[in-house]
Amino acid sequence: MRLLKTAKKQAAVVLTALAITACASTPAPSATEIKIVEKAVMPTPPAALMVAPVRPNPPKDGKTATLLEHAAEFGGYVSELKNQNQAWRDWVNSQLKIDSPSEVAK
């Protein structure tokens, strides 16, 4: 137990000496101006892009008419997803065109 206390004291002395040495050897602050960079703000997407299409329920049974009806509904759902995906891509590309000139001007 006594050995542990001695080791802790020695460690404290060493750490204190290192801290004092580090503070004494640190050069004065630089005279270079600090450049403040504005925080990027993400534009809000159109509300229509935030609404997910409703996925149709699976067919109730395996009858041909039910499966065909489900296939038609699911095809419409996939088409809505495709259109929404394209709308997201168009929106992002339009944002890139808006943001690009400001980056080039800097």
Contact 53, 81 (CB under 8 A): yes
Q: Which residue has the higher pLDDT, 100 or 103?
A: 100
User: Considering the entire predicted model, what is its pTM?
Assistant: 0.54
Residue 91 has pLDDT above 60, yes or no: yes
Averaged pLDDT, 59-70: 95
Q: What's the CA gap between 71 and 77, in Å, rounded?
A: 10
Which residue's structure tokens are 């004494």?
A: 24
Q: What letter would DSSP give residue 68? A: H
Give the pair of three-digit tokens for residue 65: 């008419």
Kindly tell me the burial class for residue 74, based on how many C-beta atoms sit within 10 Å of its own C-beta (0-12, 13-18, 19 or more). Answer: middle
For the chain, what are the domain ranges? 45-105
Determine the pLDDT at residue 28.
67
Residue 16 has pLDDT above 80, yes or no: yes
Determine the pLDDT at residue 84.
95
Residue 54 has pLDDT above 60, yes or no: yes
